[in-house]
Amino acid sequence: MLVVTYLIYIVVSLGVTIWVARTLQQHGRAFLVNAFKDNEGLADSVNHLLVVGFYLINLGYVCITLKAKNSPVTVADAIELLSSKIGIILLVLGGMHFFNIYVFNRLRRSGLLEMFEPPVEPDQVLPNKI
Amino acid sequence: MKTKIINITVLYDGQCEFCRQCVKWLKGQNSFFPIKFLASQTGQAREQFPELINEFKAGRFIVVTSNREVYFDSKGKLFCLYSLIDYRNLSLILGSPKFFKYTNTAFNYIAEKRYNISSVLLYLNRIAK
């Protein structure tokens, strides 16, 4: 029973991690292209690096939390164990996902900020030096 | 579309401790373009900006951009915030038509009280030493 639970846990965790990472990669690209002023090469590179980091942290967490304290005896025990473990993984993934969106948004904002005109008009314009 | 700003020069009152502390703080920040600081009492400031000699009064804070645009006092301080990577967002909020009058009042109040603030800063410096 324990081995089956572990296998289901790994398959579900991997599936969800891959799905979230792909969603991030596909939809985060537009943010990054905008942040890096249409430099698609750089945007793709940063996007890829962020997704690699995302995979490493999540898969690392899945591995660490694999071991169960008490092995399930009945099917109900197995479902309870799976539900709590996958629930934690989903929360971690959600947290990581929002963190990534925050990073994307920050990059985009800092890219946009550079293009803003000064907030006030000058008091005077000096003649050019000859 | 305006010409891109390459650098700015900040002209400040070198005899005011508060102004010197502000400049020290500005020097420690990351900016979008290089910022050069000149105390308005120096010969270099008078040599570089002879057109502004009449403006070099105690407590005046002047910013001159590479496009030769001049921003005085509150606008100058706001422009300095605009130059800083971490504070551009704030400068855009403080400089918006809705907020500028409050920003101007606050900056003018601080400028008026600069000698009081300077004496407190000097006292704190003395204690720290």
d(CA B96, CA B75): 12
Residue B61: strand, helix, or coil: coil
The C-alpha of A119 sits at a distance from chain B's nearest C-alpha, in angstroms, of: 5
Q: Do A119 and B92 touch (CB under 8 A)?
A: yes
ipTM surpassing 0.85 = no
Contact between residue B90 and residue B120 where contact means Cβ atoms under 8 Å apart: no
Q: Of the ranges A29-38, A111-120, B74-83, which is most confident?
A: B74-83
pLDDT, averaged across chain B: 88
The chain-wide mean pLDDT, for chain A, equals 86
Nearest to A117 among B2, B70, B89 (CB): B2
- Mutation pick from B88, B93, B99 vs chain A, by most beta carbons of A within 10 Å, is B88
State pLDDT tens for residues B34-52.
Answer: 999 999 888 898 898 888 8
Contact between B88 and A118 using a beta-carbon 8 Å cutoff = no
Residue A71 neighbours by CB under 8 Å, 6+ apart: A1, A2
pTM of the full predicted structure?
0.62
**In this complex, do B69 and A110 lie within 8 Å of one another by their Cβ atoms?**
no
- Return the exposure string of A95-119: e unless at least 16 CB atoms fall within 10 Å of the residue's CB, then b: ebbeebeebbeebbeebeeeeeebb
| Whole-number Å distance between alpha carbons of A89 and A13 | 7
> Is B95 close to A125, i.e. CB distance below 8 A?
no
Q: Which of A109, A126, A128 sits opposite B70 (nearest CB)?
A: A126
Give the ranges where A2-121 is alpha helix by DSSP (H).
2-35, 40-64, 75-113
Q: Which residues on chain A are in Cβ contact (under 8 Å) with B75? A: 120, 122-123
Contacts of A126 in chain B (CB under 8 A): 49, 51-52, 64, 68-70
Query: Hey, which residues does B123 pair with through a beta bridge?
Result: none
> Residue B45 has which token pair?
């400031």
On chain B, the residues whose CB falls within 8 A of the CB of A117 are 2
| Pair B5, B65: CB distance under 8 Å | yes
Query: pLDDT by residue (tens digit) across A75-93?
Result: 888 888 888 888 988 898 8
The candidate with the shortest Cα–Cα distance to B9, out of B60, B41, B45, is B45
Task: Indicate yes or no: CB of A116 within 8 angstroms of CB of B75.
Answer: no
Helix (H, G, I), strand (E, B) or coil at A110: helix
